[in-house]
Structures are given as structure tokens and as C-alpha cells.
Chains A and B, each alone.
Chain A
Amino acid sequence: MTCMISKIEKQSILSSKTSKYNIIFQHMKHLFKQTFFQLKKNKVIFGLTIIGSALSVAGIMLLELMIQIYLNPTPPEVNKERTLIARAVQIRNGDFTTNSYYGIEGIRKIWRPLKTPELVGLIASESKVFSSVSKTSYKPSTVAYVDGNYFKILSFDFVEGRPFTENDCINKRPIAVITNKMAIKLWGHAENAVGKTILNDQTPFKVIGIVEPATMGNFVSSSDIWIPYTTSEIVMNTNDETQGIGGGISVLILAKNKADFPKIQNEIVTKCKEVEQSYPFTITPRTIDTAAGMMYNPEGWANHTTDPSAFYKKYGSLALLFLLVPAVNLLGLIFASFKKREAEISIRRAYGASIGDIISLLLRENLIITCIGGVIGLILAWLLIPLIIDFLIFHPDSSATISIWSLIKIEAIAIALIISFLLNFLCSSIPAWRVSKTPIVNSL
């Protein structure tokens, strides 16, 4: 008997659930029908509303994709979130001032002794001609002089061979890691390049590793060739006005965690003060950037601010602009299209619909329209990115690319939908409220 009752209860619960879903389904069907009827009736106005929403979503998505390209930790720069990069130091001696990268003495005396970071690596780049033994080239490639820690901080995808170590650097081994693109430039193909010889001027260097080139948005991993820093006369030079404190080296700092950034910044300022005691000039660290800072100041200019609020101010105001102008547009269009439906709304109210019901109906209808705009905007942003990426994103290697597929992520779609909701709420709530408040008698 109990079992029978329980069976009946289950069936009744099941059928009540089914009918509930059925009601929701019917309701949604009705809403879609009604929205598409309105859309057909006012093709131009709704068309413009959809295009307006699409442009707004596309504008914000472009900003979002740009930030994604700069900030997403992608190989080889997988530790972007907890990496700092120091690219400028100011040396001042009376009337003489110079802003430069760090020199080898600066690395030894200021950066190497730091206690807070997990690892400190270095990189200095220049344009230089590297030839194969059989073919002389006059076209320079980008060479990066790096240390062993550089390959520990970054995670390169080795197609063949291995990276070099700190030991290789200390022993000044004439070895090189090159990209497969560089191997093709040198020998016409990238197969079996490990073990081959390349000429740095006339000095032979043995290739020990082949890596994939860095994708767009990865600054410190962008190069054609990597060789031990100790083999470079430029990096090791200490015979200048700055006595080796300034030079051509950028410092990569891997923090144990992001929270250590301020501590590292303080430690470096203290260290510079300590080191400058033994020199006739002052040493001021400039431009120590996070990944966001790199995005704001990709060229590493010493006179640029490293204050993150400047970054948020710039991109926040751009986002507001992308939202505001289309929003003002849409507000006018939506208000006019709602106004046209005053009679229909009054009849609904006369039949008992509350103001809340009317607002909710108009908002839901408009949400469908803005969602269509959102999806179009999302597609538009992805289509536009390859066309405008060259001037949207700075990259040291102008031929660097990025796969558009790698940018298609759930977060990006979620952001587009949130913007659609926001835009819908911004542009339809006030007109819906105003229209629904119109006295029934007047409208009828």
C-alpha cells in the first residue's frame, strides 16, 4: 500500500515537473514568436538596434581579447602572473643623466643578491647577422643573450634538443638555441638542425636546441636565437660612464607569489641606495613592470608610469566609450519603438497585467534582440582581430602571429553575454518603465 502511494506520489511529482517545464517552454516559445513578430514589423529599427548592440559588444570584446593576448599565461611565458620585468635604470651624475637597461655590474651587484624573488634571469637583445657556414647573410636576426635561469622562468616548447644551463654560461660555451623559423632561414628546413654550426661573425656556435617561435603578446620570449650572455662583448662590457651598472640587459624576476611584488620593489630600491654608495653617481630603478605594465608600456620606456591605475584608467575609459555611445543610440531607438506599442501595453494592463509584468516582458523581448547583437558582436570581434591586430598589439617580432582559435574561450563568451545583459538593462529599463507608467486611458 505504502509502495503504491509512493509510486503515485512520484508520478504526480514527475507530471507536475513535466507540466512546469512545458509551461516554461510554451512561455519561451511565445516570447520568441512575439519578439520575432516585432522584429519583422520594425525591421529597420530592430536591425539598427541589433547592429548597435553588436558594435558595442565587438568594441568591448576587442579590448577584452587584447588584454587576453597580453595577460594570458601562454607558453613559453607560463609564469606571467608572478613575473616582473625590470627594463630601465636611471644613472645621474651631476649634469649627466642616462636612462638605460641594466649592465652586467648592475645585475651582479643589485639583482643577483636579492633574497625575495624565487629566480632572477636576464635577457639582452640585439639585431645581429648569423649565417650558416655555407651561405653569407647580411640581414640581421634578433639574438637574445640569456642566462640559465631564463630557461627556468620560461617554458619553451623544444621541438628538438635542450636549453643551456647556468653552467654553460659560466663556461662561455659557444652554443645556441634557435627557432625552427630561423633554422628554415639558415638551411631551408628545420629537420636535424641540432648539432649544426652557425656563425656569429666568424665564431662558430653549435645549435643545441630548436624551439617554436613565441606567439603574440609574449615579449621576453620573442627572439630568433638565444646564446649564453657571457659570450657577448656587449653584455659583458663594463667600460662606460655607468661602469657597467647601465647597459643593455632586462631583468626577469620570478616571484614566489604575486603578493611579493611590493616587497621586491622595496628591496630593489634599498639595494640601489646601498650600491650607489660605492659609485660617483646615483642609481634609480625605473620601469619594473608586471604583465599588465608590459601591456601599458610595451616598449619599456623609462619615462612612462608603472602605476597600474593608469592602465585601468586608460582601458576603463575606452570600455566606457565603447558602451556609452552605442548605449545612447540604443536608448533613443528603444524608447521610440516602445512608444509605438503604447496601445498594446495599455490593453495588456487593462486585462490585469501589472507594471512589473510589462517591464519584465519588454526587458525579456529586448534581451533576445541584444543577445542576437551580442553573438554577432562576438563573431565580429573575432573576425576583426586578425585585421587590426598589427596596430592593436605591440610585439617585438612583427611577423609573430596568434591563433584566433586560442582566443575562443568560455570566459570570452560569458563576457559578451554579460555585456549584452548590461546593455539591455541600461537601454531598456528606463524606456520600459516610462512606457508602462503611461495612464491606460490616455494610451487607449
Chain B
Amino acid sequence: MWKQLLHRIYNERKQNTWLYVELLIVLAIIWVAFNDLYKSYQLSTLPTGTNIENCWRLRIGRSVSTSIDEHPDFSQDYAAITQIMKNIRQDNAVDAIGLTVNSMPYSSNNSNISMYLAKDSLNNKKYVHGVLIRYYNKDVMRVFRCKDIHGRPLADQIPAIEKHYIIPTKSTALKMAGHTNIIDTLVTGFDNGPMPILQIAENIRYSDYEEVMDGCYEVITEKDLSEFIESEGATSNSVQVCLRMKQHMTQQDMENWLNKNKALISTSPLYINSATSFSLIKAGLNEYFVRQIKQRVFLVSFLLVCAFLGILGTFWLRTSQRRKEIGLLMAIGSSKAHIILNFIYEGLFILLCTLPLIILYIGYYITTGHLSSHEEIVIPTIITSVLSIITMSLLIIGGVLISAWSTFKIQAAEVLHDE
């Protein structure tokens, strides 16, 4: 059988060369695209370190009409915000509410710091650069259900007595010390001087489609918050009131809820002027990645259609050129399935011949660093390679079946008559 197959492929070598080149190009492109898509899928399923289900961002506005020239008085702002939050917390529909400064999740703020263990000697400092910093207190941690590396809520572990602590994420701790047993160790790199590590948090990510980022929570005190909010640096953008509702709410539901609780959400001189769900904020930040994925899917679909047309054309020509052979085979008792299988084997064999070059290409792709960003290379590479080959095989089978369908309309007697 193999001998016959090779013989047939050799006889049609010119057409097969074109088919080979085409399958090679398309398979290489499809593998790269599948690999990218698989990587995006894998990233999108990893935990982001924060839970934003039923969470809303509330914006603060000034309820007192001021003239443009008049400089607003910020001295009452912190008291007003805490009063508004206290009012909202009492509502039965509310699960948790907290206040943070410029560091809510998915906020597009990528301000970062460099940090190292204070005890390290001068020559042995293990700097971790580009650490994403989030200024959270117990309330905010409760809103976003932040957890430590053992899955326990961080909010429950923050002492009642307010003090400055930091909670580095697992990746930051590992880079800093090589292990996670560094609780109570002092870390340098903060404006407030060296701070002790309270706990190690689970890893965080900047967006759903990016790798784990080194991060660190700085536990902020009431004093920090009030100083910031009563300064000129506070803006409606940087003061971020985060709310978790007990149940899912649509934008309209939330607007109705705010309208119903107008008295609760306003304490002179401030009021809540808008609410945006975190799922919408997240979608905004992920938009770039989602668009890239859609573009890749479109490109792959386009190439698959082109490849399918090529395969269809090649097999159509081949079957129509071999009508007599098919007719004779049918006349001597070959079944349709047997003849079709022969064509399919031919196509799959050519596809198989592309594999050595494809493996070299994948090797080159990996060694030039295209895949080095993710820890795991082997399994995704195998999965995407298998998926690519299955897709191409399906195209070949489809192309052969359609071509054969027209050829099988021929009657054996007709061919014998011609002969």
C-alpha cells in the first residue's frame, strides 16, 4: 500500500510540490496563530489576584456649586467621604465598600517601585524592579477579596491597630528572597521608610491577558488617606471609592439604587455622581488584547479559506485527471470509500512530509525567544501543534470529499466504453 501511495505521489509530483509548499506556509502560520491564541486563552484563565464580581467604582463629585475662580476647600472632603461610605455600608444590598488612591484594579495605572529586603548587605541587595504598587486598607481588600498564598482573606489578617505594613505578592517575595518565609522582615524602597512584611499575597496581574506582574500591597492608614484627600493632589480620578454589592446589578439597576438612596450618597460638600461597573472598566483595559485576538482569528480564518480553496483545486484537478482510473477501479470492484481513502492518504502523506520543516521552524521560534515569556513551553507547543495538524487534516479531508463527490457521478460502464 505504501509503495503504491509513494508511486502515485511521485507521478503527480509537480502538483504535489505546489500543494506541499502551500501546506507548509499555511501550517506554519496557523501554528503561530494557534500558539498565540492558546497563550491568550491560558492567560485569561489564570487568577488575577482580585475578584471584581458585582463590584462598582463610585466617583465623587462636589455638590456645592463653586465658581471656576474659587479654589475648592478640601478640608471637609475626607470626613464627607467617610460619612458617605458609612451611609452606603448600612444598606442591605451592599456587601463591602472601601476607599483607595489611584490603585484600584484595571485602572491603567502602572506606577511602580523598586524594593529590596532591608537586612541584605549592601553588596547582596536583591532589587526587584517595576513592582506594581497598590495602596489598600482592610475595607478595599474586603471589596476585592484579596487573598494570601494559602487562600485566606487578607482583610482578616490586618491588625486593628493601624500601622504601615506591606504585603508583597508571591512572585515579588520569590525574587526578593528566593522563598516566601519572610513575614515580619523589613523591606526598603517606600516613602515611609522600611516597612515590615505582614503576609504574602497571591500573584496579581495588570490585565487578564498579561503575565503575572511583580506586585505589592501597601496597607494604608486612615491618616494617609485623609492627608491625601485633603491635599490638592486628590482629584475625582485618583480618589476611588470601590463598592461590592451582594447581588448582580445592571447599570440601570445601579442608577435606580443611587436615585433611591440620594440622601445616603450625599454629604456636603461631596456626593456620588457616577457608578461604573468593574466589568466595564476591565473590558476597557482588555479591549486592546481582545482586538488583537479577534484580528488573529480573522487572519487565520482567511488563510484557512485560502488553503481550503487551494487543496480543493488541487484535488479537483487530480480526480478529474484520474477519472478513467477511478472508473476502472470501480469496474473491478473497488468501493467508493476505498478510492476516497487513497486520495485522503495522499493528502495526509504530503502534510506529514511538511512536519520535519515545521518542527525545525518551531524549534527556531522557541530558541529565538518568542515563547520564552511563559514558564511552560512543551505542553502548549504540543497542544497547538496537534490542533494545527488536525485543522489541516480536516481541510484535506474536506477538499478530497468535495472533489471526489463530483467524480463519483461517473458510471463504470461509461469509462469502459471510452477505453
Binding site for B on A (CB under 8 A): 44-45, 48-49, 51-52, 55-56, 59, 95-99, 126-129, 136, 138-140, 172-174, 201-204, 230-231, 233-234, 237, 239-240, 248, 299, 318, 321-322, 324-326, 328-329, 331-333, 335-336, 388, 391-392, 394
Contacts and interface: CB of A to CB of B under 8 A. Distances in A.
B298 interface: yes
Given A203-B68, A325-B26, A388-B298, A48 B312 contact: yes
Contact of B21 (A204, A231, A328, A333): A328
B274 A55 contact: no
Interface string B232-244: 1101110000000
Given A139-B251, A325-B25, A329-B313, A174 B15 contact: no
Given A138-B254, A239-B233, A332-B314, A391 B111 contact: no
A48 B303 contact: no
A89 to B, nearest CB: 13
B189 A139 contact: no
Given A204-B65, A325-B307, A234 B25 contact: no
Contacts of A126: 236-237
A345 to B, nearest CB: 17
A201 B61 contact: yes
Interface in B170-220: 189
Contacts of A97: 112, 130
B18 A335 contact: yes
A328 B310 contact: yes
A216 to B, nearest CB: 14
Contacts of A202: 61-66
15 contacts: A136-B259, A138-B255, A139-B274, A202-B66, A203-B66, A325-B303, A325-B310, A326-B309, A328-B21, A329-B22, A331-B18, A332-B314, A333-B314, A336-B15, A336-B313
Contacts of A201: 61-63, 273
B72 interface: yes
Contacts of A55: 302, 305-306, 309
Given A237-B233, A239-B232, A332-B313, A138 B295 contact: no
A392 B65 CA distance: 44
Contacts of A51: 309
Contacts of B288: 299, 394
Interface string B366-406: 00000000000000000000000000000000000000001
Contacts of B316: 44-45, 48
B232 A45 contact: no
B190 to A, nearest CB: 10
B313 A326 contact: no
Nearest to A99: B110
B39 interface: no
B317 A333 contact: yes
A140 B59 contact: yes
Interface in B68-112: 68-69, 72, 110-112
B275 interface: yes
Given A52-B306, A99-B110, A128-B236, A138 B29 contact: no
A155 B295 CA distance: 32
B341 interface: no
A172 B302 CA distance: 54
B290 to A, nearest CB: 8
Given A97-B112, A140-B274, A237 B291 contact: no
A196 to B, nearest CB: 17
A322 B298 CA distance: 12
Contacts of B287: 394
B412 interface: no
Given A98-B111, A237-B233, A129 B314 contact: no
B51 interface: no
B29 A45 contact: no
A5 to B, nearest CB: 62
B276 interface: yes
B22 A129 contact: no
Contacts of A173: 68
B235 A203 contact: no
B276 A140 contact: yes
Contacts of A140: 59, 274, 276
Interface string B1-25: 0000000000000110011011001
Contacts of A138: 254-255, 258, 273-275
Nearest to A205: B68
Interface string B297-328: 01100110111011011101100000000000
A382 B328 CA distance: 48
B119 interface: no
Contacts of A127: 274, 276
Given A138-B258, A336-B15, 17 more contacts: A95-B114, A95-B127, A95-B129, A97-B112, A128-B274, A201-B273, A202-B63, A202-B66, A237-B232, A318-B299, A321-B303, A325-B26, A329-B307, A332-B15, A333-B310, A335-B18, A392-B295
Contacts of B291: 391, 394
A392 B23 CA distance: 27
Contacts of A336: 15, 313-314, 317
A239 B233 CA distance: 5
Contact of B25 (A230, A237, A324): A324
> Which of A126, A173, A329 has the most B CB atoms < 10 Å from its CB?
A329
A53 B329 CA distance: 36
Contact of A139 (B69, B237, B255, B259): B255
B236 A234 contact: yes
List 5 tightest A-B contacts by C-beta distance, closest first.
A332-B18, A329-B310, A391-B294, A95-B114, A201-B61
Contacts of A59: 302
B113 interface: yes
Nearest to B19: A332
A140 B60 CA distance: 12
A325 B63 CA distance: 62
A343 to B, nearest CB: 15
B12 to A, nearest CB: 10
Given A234-B237, A332-B18, A95 B189 contact: yes
> Which of B232, B235, B276 has the most A CB atoms < 10 Å from its CB?
B235
Contact of A45 (B26, B275, B295, B313): B313
Contacts of A239: 231-233
A335 B14 contact: yes
Nearest to A200: B61
A45 B236 contact: no
A56 B129 CA distance: 47
A32 B169 CA distance: 72
Nearest to A301: B288
Contacts of B276: 127, 140
Contact of A391 (B21, B112, B113, B298): B298
B9 to A, nearest CB: 15
A262 B29 CA distance: 37
B298 A129 contact: no
